């Protein structure tokens, strides 16, 4: 699982798509305070 945090939605989407083409599972988040892998975050493809 790759956790991707970026405030620019276009960048998040582009990077998530690129990583997915390599078979990687990606969870995207618009800001660090929403990102929390310790809590079992599941906000994928935001």
Per residue in 1-46, pLDDT (tens digit) is 899 999 999 999 999 999 999 999 999 999 887 766 555 555 555 4
Find tokens 């800001």 and name the residue: 31
Q: Is residue 11 part of a domain?
A: yes
The confidence score (pLDDT) of residue 24 equals: 96
Q: Which two tokens stand for residue 46?
A: 């935001």
pLDDT of residue 31: 85
Domain assignment present for residue 23? The answer is: yes
Could you tell me the residue range of the domain that residue 22 belongs to? Answer: 2-39
Residue 46, in any domain of the structure: no
pLDDT confidence of residue 10:
97
- The pLDDT score that the predictor gives to residue 37 is 59
Give the chain's domain count: 1
28 within some domain: yes
pTM above 0.85, yes or no: no
44 assigned to some structural domain: no
Q: What is the pLDDT of residue 15?
A: 97
């Amino acid at each position: 699982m790759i956790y991707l945090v970026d405030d620019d939605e276009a960048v998040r989407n582009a990077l998530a798509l690129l990583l997915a083409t390599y078979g990687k599972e990606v969870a995207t988040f618009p800001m660090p305070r929403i990102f929390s892998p310790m809590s079992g975050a599941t906000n994928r493809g935001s």
